[in-house]
Structure 1
Amino acid sequence: MTVEFDIQKHMLVPKHEIMTEEEISKEFSDVDYDFKDLPKIKADDSVAKSIGATPGDILRITRESQTAGVFVTYRIVEP
């Protein structure tokens, strides 16, 4: 018997979103580095798979913390 659940609903998993080209352009318009230098996440990562991320996608990961408030990081999906 296989039990399936939405991994993004687990309390320890931060929100992951695939960014659109427009969001990427807006968010990174004034940075001085290549997207290839972003931290990596594997395409076969459980959360990446659950949201349909493919190699080359940029993910926005939003964590909420009682001490830090809202903290956003970015990852590039690699094969």
Structure 2
Amino acid sequence: MEKQFETLTRELMNRNHDLTYEEARSWIEGLWEDFETTRAKAGYGYEGKGKTEAMVIQWINSYGSKLHLYEGRFKHLTKK
């Protein structure tokens, strides 16, 4: 998973130049964990890393350039 997190972190940094590496990595890990936890709590079966990675990529594409603006609202997803 380290390789996936690294790739996703770099992609987020390419879309959002306001984030440091540590901030981007924290967002990626938080989004990943939140997606898997939310699906599990909702009773969905585990569909593998590919499903989670696809969702995180979708979020990066949709919201990546503005994630730094939402830090206060989503503190639970970052390690600050």
Length-normalised TM-score, structure 2 = 0.28
Higher helix share: 2
Q: Which of these two proteins has the greater Rg computed from alpha carbons?
A: 1
Highest RCO, 1 vs 2 (Cα 8 Å, sep ≥ 6): 2
